[in-house]
Structure 1
Amino acid sequence: MDLVHALKEYLNYVSVERGCSRNTVLAYGRDLRSYVLGLRDEGITMPDQVTRDRIEGHVSHLRASGLSIASVERAISAIKGFHRFMVAERITTAHPAADLPLPKKPSRLPDVIGREQAAALLDQPFPKTPAGQRDHAILEVLYGCGLRVSELCGLDLRRVMLDEQVLRVVGKGDKERVVPIVGTAAATLADYLENWRSGLVSPLVSNSAVFLNNRGRRLSRQSVHTLVAKAGAVVGIDGLHPHTLRHSFATHMLEGGADLRIVQELLGHADISTTQLYTHLDRSHLREVYLEAHPRAHS
């Protein structure tokens, strides 16, 4: 079996047997098609022809192309999984990617906005139009619930339970979690659903999505990126990103005294070490509280 057919088998495997999400399968497919095409350009079409040097050459090309470390890491993981699959399925006995190292990620703290900036962002006047009130609801939900942009775009009406003050969110790996929605986020979302969403519905499209574009279709992630950046610019926050609102949600929750395990569950992190990153952001706040509260903090 050549590499092209082996790749088809592998993508079917990760989709059906491993149950990976559609986005994960698409990302693996992009990474591995680039890898297989690169090998083919060098005259390599069979699994037994692949050498460690060829793989390292491909990885060097990825790094030189300006991809982020996270993207390179994902590509390497896909390559390793592909070769491991071919060995397990006895397509080949060689595993040249067995001990291929993953790139080290720099320890970079996530960007956050302050509480005052969050208030300015959410309290700005939004147009009294279906799209304007949709955008307001999106910002409130991103900051109020800590959703990933993919989770927000994938949110369906049947998963919004405002009477119970919860959203049933489908996260990474198609895992569902329950996220509370209260306060201004709940009120703004309820107003959008009751009074404005119908203005975006198209008679030509049947769509269960909560957030629709002007053609009645599910709003795309890129559209959310654009509207968040525009809303941020209005109040002087340049380059505002949806994930910044998720980071800010986590940081402000911890500053308010929320337990780390609770924040982990709300964010949908599989590993608490991912959530612990926010404790580094919280330290400056803890120091301020200590200085204000402790009678011997000032000499």
Structure 2
Amino acid sequence: MTDLQPAAREVRLPGQTTASALTDRMRRVAELVAALPGLPPDDGSRYGVRRLTAAWLLEVESQHTEKAYGRDLTTFLHWCATERLDPLSARPTDLGQFRTWRELHSHNGRPAAASTVARALAAVASWYTHLIANSDGLLRHNPVATVRRPKVNQHTSPTAGLTLSEVDALLAAADAQVADRAPAAARTPTGRTRYLAALRDRALLRLLADLGLRISEALDRDLDDLSHNAGHRTLRYRGKGNLLRERPLPAHTLQALDEYLTERATVANIGVNRLTGPLFATTGTDGDGRLAEPNVFLTIRRLASTAGIAAAGRLSPHSLRHAFATGAREVGVPLEDVQDAMGHADPRTTRRYDRDRHNIDRDPAFLLGARRASRTR
């Protein structure tokens, strides 16, 4: 198979955010902060509340956290506006009331999950901490500090799971989609675009299933994050905590990536080594834009439905990450190796992802009993 490693077009560290991506992020944060209610207007001061809020969002470890914190702060400030409460004068009792309100309200009309409420309080607490540390006495106490946080079960996950046979069925549905769209690719521009999208989706799903990446780690990748190391083709990225990671790409993933990149270069009428931009690109009028996370949710659920997977309507990219951990443990990969592959600082986090950990066949009693029996013969 031809090595389709694209040539780098700019000098940058592996997994480093490009200048354009950083500019887009700064613009997004600036727009969010400008729209926040209940804060003093930006007076141009270096340490004004809005400018400090923007700095707080830009300092978090990942764009995923930045967006989640931005949503949580927006929700809190809108609640303050409804309550006619100055957020800079809020007291612990006010934050206790916000916690109760947040527990009773969610986007689906049901009570919010404990993890959702805990994250909201953590976000607001972090925001207050940043203001206290940088605002020259404007705030002296964090009103969230003494608010009781909801208990979050650290041993289970709300993510809908997939068995290994269901993962196989999902990937088979992606293969079938490629085969179904291939005939039309040579007849019309629309057919070719749909075929390219099918190749891209198949490559992305294989990457998620085979490496267990977070969806942000996959979608944030650029073409020059593909590399080589010790005779393997690899993917370089910055994981959670901004840590540099490099993972080998198995043949199953490489086949789909190579076919996708070959077709993408053909559509662009250039050689593969001249491709630039996101690893997983849009295929519409903005043909070199970065694929967005909501599109991946829809693709997974659509293909899962086609595959007859019962939980299709609840699946997410994270379901494939869970399946990676469960599958790795099922075939005997040591916990510490799965932990390293997934980039977890705490092995307890990895165990939450392992849905097969309570399988009775894995009980140590079996192994110890067998060894004891062999000693007493």
Task: Select 2:211's aligned residue among 132, 140, 145.
Answer: 145
Task: Select which of 229, 240, 252 maps to 1:172.
Answer: 240
Given that residues 322 and 355 in structure 2 are in contact (C-alpha distance below 8 angstroms), is that contact kept between their aligned partners in structure 1? no
Which of 337, 345, 361 is the aligned partner of 1:262?
337
Aligned residues: 289
Alignment partners' CA distance in 2, 1:104 and 1:46 = 25
Relative contact order (alpha carbons < 8 A, sep ≥ 6): 1 or 2 greater? 2
SS at match of 2:85: coil
Output one character per residue of 1:10-30: Cα deviation in whole Å (capped at 9) or x when no partner.
4234245x4533332333233
1:42 CA drift (Å): 3.2
Shift of 1:7: 4.3
2:125 counterpart residue number: 80
How big is each residue's C-alpha offset from its partner over 1:197-246, in whole Å with a ceiling of 9 and x where there is no partner? 2366599xx96111122221211101111111111112111233211111
Matches of 1:21 and 1:93, distance apart in 2: 28
Calculate percent identity across the aligned residue pairs. Answer: 26
Match of 1:120 in 2: 169
Letter in 2 for 1:214: T
Between 1:122-131 and 1:256-265, the stretch displaced more is 122-131
Supply the distance in 2 between the matched residues of 1:33 and 1:157 (Cα, whole angstroms): 34
- Contact (CA 8 Å) 1:212, 1:219: kept in 2 or not? yes
For the structure 1 residues 241 and 180, does the alpha-carbon distance in structure 2 shift closer, same or farther, using more than 3 Å as the test?
Answer: same
Tell me whether 1:51 sits opposite 2:51 in the alignment: no
Comparing 111-120 with 238-247, greater Cα deviation is found at 111-120
* Offset at residue 31 of structure 1 (A): 1.9
SS at match of 1:97: coil
Using structure 2 for the length normalisation, give the TM-score.
Answer: 0.68
Q: Which secondary structure does the structure 2 equivalent of 1:236 belong to? A: coil
2:265 to 193, 198, 214: 198
Higher mean Cα deviation, 250-259 or 25-34?
25-34
Following superposition, the deviation at residue 283 of structure 1 comes to 3.6
In structure 2, what is the Cα distance between the partners aligned to 1:24 and 1:234?
A: 32
- 1:282 corresponds in structure 2 to 357
1:215-226 equivalence runs, <5 A: 215=284, 216=287, 217-226=289-298
Give the residue type in structure 2 aligned to 1:11.
T
**Number of the residue aligned with 2:15:** none
Instruction: Tell whether 2:150 aligns with 1:108.
Output: no
Q: Distance in 1 between matches of 2:298 and 2:67?
A: 23
SS of 1:39 mapped into structure 2: helix
1:130 counterpart = 2:181: no
CA distance in 1, matches of 2:50, 2:355: 43
Residue ranges of structure 1 left out of the alignment (5+ in a row): none
**CA RMSD between the two structures:** 3.0
Compare 136-145 and 29-38 and name the one that shifted more.
Answer: 29-38
* Counterpart-to-counterpart distance in 1, 2:87 and 2:198: 54
Q: How far apart are the structure 1 equivalents of 2:276 and 2:166?
A: 34
Taking a change above 3 Å as real, the CA distance of residues 161 and 46 of structure 1, as seen in their structure-2 partners, is closer
- For the Cα contact (< 8 Å) 1:113–1:245, is it kept in 2? yes
Q: Secondary structure at the match of 1:70?
A: helix
Q: Deviations over 1:170-209 (max 9, x none)?
A: 333433311221131122112211x222366599xx9611
Q: Distance in 2 between matches of 1:101 and 1:121?
A: 42
The Cα of 1:58 is off from its aligned counterpart by: 1.4
Give the letter aligned to residue 251 of structure 2: G
Structure 2 portions without partners, runs of 5+: 1-36, 41-47, 107-111, 183-194
Question: 2:103 aligns to what?
Answer: 63
Q: Which amino acid aligns with 1:177?
A: R
Q: Residue 227 of structure 1 corresponds to which residue in structure 2? A: 299
In 2: Cα distance, 1:280 partner to 1:28 partner: 28
What's the counterpart of residue 76 of structure 2? 35
Instruction: Pick closer, same or farther for the CA change 1:192–1:273 going to 2, 3 Å.
Output: same
Counterpart residue type for residue 65 of structure 1: H
TM-score for the superposition, normalised by structure 1 = 0.83
Q: Give the conservation status (yes or no) of the 8 Å contact 2:49–2:131.
A: no
Does the aligned pair in 2 maintain the 1:83–1:95 contact within 8 Å?
A: yes
Q: Which residue in the other structure is 2:278 paired with?
A: 209
